[in-house]
Amino acid sequence: MDQTQKKFRLRSQRWFDDPEDPGMTALYIERFLNFGMTRGELQSGKPIIGIAQTGSDIAPCNRHHLALAERVKAGIRDAGGIPLEFPIHPIQETGKRPTAALDRNLAYLSLVEVLHGYPLDGVVLTTGCDKTTPACLMGAATVNIPALVLSGGPMLDGHWKGKLSGSGTIVWEARKRLAAGELNYDSFMQMVASSATSIGHCNTMGTALSMNSLAEALGMSLPGCASIPAAYRERGQMAHATGMRIVEMVKENLRPSDIMTREAFENTIVLASAIGASSNCPPHLVAIARHMGVELTTEDWQTIGADIPLLVDCQPAGRFLGEMFYRGGGVQSVMKELADAGKLHTGVRTATGKTLAEDLAQAPEPDRQVIRPYAEPLKTHAGFVVLSGNIFDSAVMKVSVIDAEFRKRFLSNPEDVFEGKVIVFEGPEDYHDRIEDPDLGVDERSVLVIRNCGPVGYPGSAEVVNMQPPGALIKAGLDALPTMGDGRQSGTSASPSILNVSPEAAVGGGLALLKTGDPIRINLKTRKVDLLIPAEEMEARRAAWTPPKLQHKTPWEEIYRSMVGQLGTGGCLEPATLYLNILETRGES
Ligand code: FES
Ligand code: MG
């Protein structure tokens, strides 16, 4: 046993090796022997490392973690630890009804209980599909036990008729072509499925690849982890290295609070802008920070991230997919570019135990097709714009996906102002029922608004704000309109919507007061969205408003709705944010 080990007793020894309580020690140990473990192993003083397993048959994006866990276990054993794999609540983005977002906080809770209640000294977090990454990081933050992320990696690049076909992004394209009558049912299905080539998560810079990149930028995975495609041999090698490193992290007592500092979160926002990250990242990162006890707000995305340029040429903001992002250098190369431009705090510590500057000295040479030099970006000022106004406190808009066509059509004057009238939908069902109705009067001055889609309203907050215009307008060449809503949109969407409007309509946010035909002004320069109706009229509508009757379909929906906050503050279970660093404060370490 070396000096560092002597300084503190392993937490797991309170279960497996407590000389003062042989009765309980025997009870804790005996059941772990029943599959062949020995008392010698459990009482060896070796760190016991959990592997939080997010993969299963109903979570295909993360399913290969079942196989990767074997390489993690080998790494843990090779470094002198003992692995114990356990499941956490599965979350699959596209398969869960009403929405996977409802389950992020449930998986978070389940992970907190396991990490707090079982004899674990550290944990490997297997991440991938959208919500699995924030759920795992939130749980590790609350418990503050040594933790290391192992990303699952993106699927191999997809192709459709000779062109790259990226997860999600191809769906939006295919839906438009279906609506325009250019595809039949079979070819529509084939086109959508063409992006799902292999094991792995979405291969676009959607929420999955974005959040795994953010985990690496935070310093919570080994350098280079996020972008390795799931099917590459390097993924298995990274799994082994991750298993080895977590054992060392336990010995060094290197914990999430040492890594996920305010400076690390600031670095992560900068990285998010440069990669063209998903619009789901602001609420997830704010949630992780809150559970870590770090002050971070949605407004920080504006102050820290809005002026950062887009450096990575990946869909939906650019051209390429996960394989090219990986071969082009991945997160480390982008961070090196940002660090050289003076945009990062390079003194922060990462999971390697070294500083970011030391890690970045090993960054791969970037392939300039995919990762641009800081001085020659794909777009300048490419981060999220954070908006507010007389109908909401905060909303985000992903500027990196505003294309020249959209800018010319809707923001032609130098003030970046759009004025039009709102067309209001009560939710996705209402939108689908009425969008083709000619009496709605949708035209190029319309803003499509969707409400009742926030955390409480939906519940969970739905990815529905990127509504497409009626088929007749698409056929006439108008394939996008400004949209706004209290829900979210898929990170794979290239729609410059006004998203995550907080507070949401269901809790009395201003969106609840809108009526179809109301005039609205969106000013991207001043970051204001204002409803242009008299204040007295607003007051009268507010006085007449009654909260919607919420229909809970499961017990969790009711519990979730009673505790969840708004997207602008991370959509957290509010009581849970008060439990910080629980191993230490509860005398468990
Ligand atoms: Fe799971 Fe995209 S749906 S990663
Ligand atoms: Mg999604």
d(CA 230, CA 199): 6
Rounded to the nearest angstrom, the distance between the alpha carbon of 485 and the centre of ligand 1 is 22
Of residues 349, 346, 368, the one with CA closest to residue 270: 346
Asked if residue 205 lies in contact with residue 276, where contact means CB atoms within 8 angstroms, the answer is yes
The CA 115 to ligand 1 mean position distance, Å, reads: 25
Q: Is the CB of 463 under 6 A from ligand 1?
A: no
Sole residue written with tokens 């890594």: 259
What is the full DSSP assignment across 221-287? B-TTTTTS-TTSHHHHHHHHHHHHHHHHHHHHT--HHHHS-HHHHHHHHHHHHHHT--TTHHHHHHH
Alpha-helical regions (H) of 476-568: 535-544, 555-563
Cα separation, 206 vs 224, whole angstroms: 18
- Helices 207-218 and 262-275, interaxial angle, to 10°? 140
Residue 414 pLDDT = 66
Residue 44: C-alpha distances to residues 48, 79, 80, 383 (Å): 10, 14, 10, 50
> 25 CA distance to ligand 2 centroid (A)?
45
**Percent of the chain with pLDDT strictly greater than 70:** 97
Query: Mutation test of ligand 1: which of 170, 171, 192, 201 has the most ligand atoms closer than 8 Å to its C-beta?
Result: 201
Q: With a 6 A CB cut-off, is 93 part of the ligand 1 pocket?
A: yes
**Which residues, including other chains, have CB under 8 Å from residue 260's CB and lie 6 or more apart?**
137, 141, 218, 219, 220, 288, 289, 292, 294
Task: Give the torsion sign (CA, 70, 76, 78, 81).
Answer: negative
Q: Shortest CA distance to 155 belongs to which of 311, 325, 278, 274?
A: 325
- 93 contacts: CB under 8 Å, gap ≥ 6: 61, 100, 129, 130, 131, 202, 207, 208
Per the listing, tokens 């001085």 go with: 375
pLDDT at 354 exceeding the cut of 70? yes
Closest-lying ligand 1 atom to the alpha carbon of residue 167: 2
Report pLDDT digits (tens) over 420-452: 999 999 999 999 999 999 999 999 999 999 999
The Å distance, Cα 491 to ligand 2 centre, comes to 6
Buried/exposed 353-362: b ≥16 CB within 10 Å, e otherwise: eebbeebbee
Mean residue pLDDT across the chain: 95
| Higher pLDDT among residues 493 and 162, named by residue | 162
What does the alpha-carbon distance between residue 458 and residue 453 come to, in Å, rounded to a whole number? 5
Place of tokens 């869909």: 315
Residue 464: pLDDT over 70: yes
Distance CA 77, CA 84 (A): 11
Show the domains of the chain with their CATH numbers.
158-196 (no CATH), 384-544 (3.50.30.80)
**73 has pLDDT over 70:** yes
Kindly tell me if the per-residue pLDDT of 3 is higher than 50: no
Distance CA 38, CA 383 (A): 53
Q: How far apart are CA 13 and CA 21, in angstroms?
A: 11
Which residue among 94, 104, 321 is best mutated to probe the pocket of ligand 1, counting the most ligand atoms within 8 A of its Cβ? 94
Q: Which of 153-157, 222-226, 511-515, 585-589 has the lowest mean pLDDT?
A: 585-589
- The answer for residues whose C-beta is within 8 angstroms of residue 45's C-beta and 6 or more apart is 1, 5, 10, 13, 17
Q: Please report, in angstroms and rounded to a whole number, the separation of the first and last CA atoms in the chain.
A: 19
Q: What is the pTM of this model?
A: 0.96
Q: Is the pLDDT of residue 7 over 90?
A: no
What is the rounded CA–CA span in Å between residue 205 and residue 226?
Answer: 11
Three-class DSSP category at 466: coil
Give the pLDDT confidence of 358-393 residue by residue, as tens digits.
999 999 999 999 999 999 999 999 999 999 999 999
Residue 398, token pair as written in the block:
């992903």
Q: Is the CB of 241 under 6 A from ligand 1?
A: no
Q: 3-class secondary structure for 324-366?
A: HHHHCCHHHHHHHHHHHCCCCCCCCECCCCCEHHHHHCCCCCC
16: pLDDT confidence band, cut at 50, 70 and 90? very high
Long-range (24+ apart) CB contacts under 8 A made by 551-558 are 552/459, 553/98, 556/102, 556/106, 557/102, 557/459
Instruction: Give the up-direction half-sphere exposure of residue 554: CA atoms within 13 A in the CB hemisphere.
Output: 12
- CB of 423 closer than 6 angstroms to any ligand 1 atom: no
The answer, yes or no, to whether residue 573 has pLDDT greater than 70, is: yes
Q: How far is residue 88's CA from residue 430's CA, in Å, rounded to a whole number? A: 35
Report whether residue 155 contacts ligand 1, using a CB cutoff of 6 Å: no
Q: Is 65 helix (H, G, I), strand (E, B) or coil?
A: helix
530-553, pLDDT tens digit by residue? Answer: 999 999 999 999 999 999 999 999
Distance 585 CA to ligand 2 centre (A): 35
Q: Which atom of ligand 1 is nearest to the CA of 94?
A: 3
For residues 94 and 60, is the Cβ–Cβ distance under 8 A? no
What pLDDT was estimated at residue 410? 75
Residues 6+ apart with CB under 8 A from 21: none
Tokens at 248, concatenated: 């060392």
> Which residues, in sequence order, are bridge partners of residue 520?
420, 531
Mind listing the pLDDT tens digit for each residue in 212-247?
A: 999 999 999 999 999 999 999 999 999 999 999 999
Could you give the angle at which helices 281-292 and 101-117 cross, rounded to 10 degrees?
A: 20
d(C-alpha 463, C-alpha 280), whole Å: 9
For residue 211 the two structure tokens come to: 């959040």
Report the pLDDT averaged over residues 71-82: 98
Ligand nearest to the CA of 91: 1
- Cα 502 from Cα 487, distance rounded (Å): 9
Radius of gyration of the chain (CA): 24
